[in-house]
Structure 1
Amino acid sequence: MEPVGASVEAVFREEHGRLLAALVRRFGDLDLAEEVASEAVEAALIHWPAEGVPDRPGAWLMTTARRRAVDRLRRDRAYAARLAILQVEADRAGPAAPADPGGDGDLPDERLQLFFTCAHPALAAEDRVALTLRCLAGLATPEVARAFLVPPATMAQRIVRAKKKIRQARIPFRVPGADELPRRLPGVLGVIYSIFTEGYAASSGPDLQRLDLAEEAIRLTRILRRLLPAEREVAGLLGLMLLVHARREARTGPDGGVVLLDDQDRGRWDRAMIEEGGGLVVAALSGGPPGPYGVQAAIAALHDEAADVATTDWPQIVALYDVLLALAPSPVAALNRAVAVAMRDGPEAGLALLDGLAGEPLLRAYHPYPAARADLLRRLGRLGEAAAAYREALALAGTEPERAHLRRRLEKVLLPGTTGLSGPSGVA
């Protein structure tokens, strides 16, 4: 039973977005699609142990789910009438895409429709992330809640709110037209990147990283890359995530503690992932002006290609941050540029730039900002100011590994006779 259960889970994880998207396209209702998809999985757990896993398990689930949906509609005439109206509206929004020449019976752009529906700008930002994880990643509501450390009831309310908004606003399940796609795609990429960011550096909890979230974001972006192979910013985002995720094993010690970039064993970095990410950087930066994700991927590639922190091409990294700030200005990008300037020109130059960001509202609750100031003040020998900045960062840090790291730094600058002059700023 256990191997079959594992098979169902593996198939469902791989096929969930495709299954749900096809059902939504067919029946025009997200709630119905989710319910019959779950019923199909329950049926698989009953039938597959006795009959064996079918040769095309995804097609089996699809057929079963469609039959369950039709049976439900036959029993509920009012529900069927409402869905008929929705189907008419969907047909008016645009014709169905041609069948997949690969012959699996699914439409390759149906998942793309679901991507753009889940990330529609009419939905609140937090609702977009929740709906993407629920519908495209196939996570159960308690799993989505656990990912962002909120009660399941709160996350359920977000998902219900998003679905209600889709119904009330008549948000269509469709891919935007060519004229609309450039405006809408950044929102989709932003949702996926926010999932990855939470996985790379958890906002709170006992662990520094949430590898399951980071890997799910990468999986979703691989799907998006297959669906939109000509979109260079999709390549850029996938490359960025791979290049950063390649360092995952070296970013924490055996006890789960933070290991800074200069202390990481680069032999533990995933070289295959770095190579793949580097190729995506080339794709992202070729054929037109660069986009923000392509530029960030190029920065990550320079870090991954260097033998150590000292030999990293900091001038080139600073230049790339200049490009990034021109494309997509943000206080966080400015903070990262200041750290790179400190590595290129010395801590005093970097500190001057950081102090110039003191009034940025978005950095007031962002613990890497006082942590970066503290590290540069430590390197300048201004230990009293460094201690105050470390305390500020400690009060803001969300995860226990980050707090433990900052406590160690604070203790070091408070030790009598400590100069605190060695080491670059704290980048994990």
Structure 2
Amino acid sequence: MLRSLALLGAFTLALGAAVPSARAADPLPRALPEEVGMSSERLGRLEAAMRAEVEAGRMPGAVVAIARRGRLVHYQAYGYLDRAAGTPMPLDAIFAMASMTKPITGVAAMMLLEEGRLALGDPAATYLPPLAAMRVAAPDQGAEGTATVPVAQPVTVQDLMRHTSGIPYGSDRSAAYRTFPPSSIGSGTGYSGADFIRKIGEATLVSQPGTTWEYGLSVDVLGRLVEEVSGQNLGAFMEERIFRPLGMADTGFTVPAEKAGRVARPLPQDPATGRPQTVPDLSKPLGFECGGGCGRTTAADYIRFAQMLLNRGTLEGRRILSPRAVEAMVTDRLPADARGSVGVTDPTKAGYGFGLTVAVRRDARGTNLLGNPGDYSWSGSYGTHFWVDPKEEMAVVLMTLTPGETRLRYRRLLNALAYQAIVE
């Protein structure tokens, strides 16, 4: 009894003044770390490190949530919602999640698959006809070449989900790359859904479908496909089928006026380069709800989403996906001879394969993060990050706004400090 009281006292002291509000808003059942094989003392290292990052001016603030064996062991806000205004970070801060929208779009597509309304091997053009006429940049013609060849096989739903479609983010890398929009959020704000698909259909694929892993607009196209199959806007489909059943009350595509005061802001300048930095205005309406990067969420909502995946599709008695559908999502599905590397896009994912909208650890070789084969994850370009480790029965969510290269630092830091707190 005395030992339990001592542990509770240490845990309460570590959380500090945030305990009352944290317990009022816990997204999952709470546990003392020691009850699920973790260490309160070692989790204190995480708290100290996050506070040090804020004090050093490298991040404005953050909210971190860690669950093990289905129970919440760490849920803490650090620093500032808006450092320039001196506003403290609340637990229910709302963040632009950028590409952490993608796994949610993946779940939406898998729900339609489970209903027999689409299949992984279906050509995407079956649902989005403007994609039927796409051609591929001819190989070995140089960066400025514009010659094209026919597709050897059509872009499939699976290609969209695993980034083997040949649809990149637009850049100046070659003439073919310049035919695509440069970003998800830019697409969502700059096009209607129909115009976006028309633009993609007129572009030139940069590789033959199914042959090369390349990060890009694939999941934005997938989101439009979900809309066409379901007959609903993506946000409406997700609200009805994912957010409401999971209790994700603050997740969606735009922030209503009554929640605007909870939106997190980045530091005005990148601490590494001194350049100005911003994130999109989440209150502005979108041309279409882009499934690749236009979402907003809270740490509380996303840890519930991650726990649902860890539970193989269910949370608190509500089933979102079948266990087999989740297994399909979190299994490496890249062909053995596929070109390209997840680690090129995200150096913290060196050695990872890719499933259906999430990166998947193959084994310990070639990786530079702690973890286990089969753990899966993804991140957002503004600093958000999550991962699930089925072997450790652990889900971790980081919500912060560090849109520069500093974001890679926090993926590594949180990885090390979460795993070192596991003691059994």
Range into which the TM-score falls when normalised by the shorter chain? under 0.3
Q: Which has the higher helix share?
A: 1
Higher relative contact order (CA 8 A, sep 6+): 2
User: Given the two structures, how large is their TM-score scaled by the length of structure 2?
Assistant: 0.26
Return the structure number with greater strand share.
2
Could you say which structure has the larger radius of gyration?
1
